[in-house]
Amino acid sequence: RVSPWQMAQLIAIIANNGCGWQTEAPWQEQLVSAVESQGERREQRIDRQYVQIISSETAQILQKDLASSIDLPDGRQLTYAGKTGTPEIPANNGGKHYLAWYVGYYPAQQPQYAVAIVIEDIIGVPAADLSGGKYALPLFEDLICHLP
């Protein structure tokens, strides 16, 4: 299992030619800015480094494969990159449950935003009809139309 946060980090690494922030401490520790020590509050320092996580060659192949665009009614074309997903997970009743995912970045050239969209349920849509391409991708496209 992966979280939307982890997928947004992954797509940001791809967008940044394979580079990203690496920390020495586990991610849970990064959420804590101070620790209790013998009744005193001390600031915690997290060492972070911007490093190559995947090769730039691999990142560039993925950037090309994930690239897409939409044409707007006003004549503008927005380029972005990303991937849909429709994972199947076990439901509480023993059946199947689906999620609609889209993880992407915008704009495709000189990216500024990395986004993960997860839709768990839509009223009136059967679980088996829920898909990333049908529901999560249009939300992403609508979102980027409103970004600078």
Separation of alpha carbons 130 and 112, rounded Å: 29
Give the pLDDT confidence of 110-126 residue by residue, as tens digits.
999 999 999 988 888 88
pLDDT of residue 45: 61
Q: Average pLDDT, stretch 95-101?
A: 87
pLDDT of residue 114: 97
Separation of alpha carbons 130 and 10, rounded Å: 23
pLDDT of residue 69: 96
Separation of alpha carbons 66 and 28, rounded Å: 30
In terms of Cα–Cα distance, which of 79, 84, 78 is closest to 11?
A: 84
Give the pLDDT confidence of 45-56 residue by residue, as tens digits.
666 778 999 999
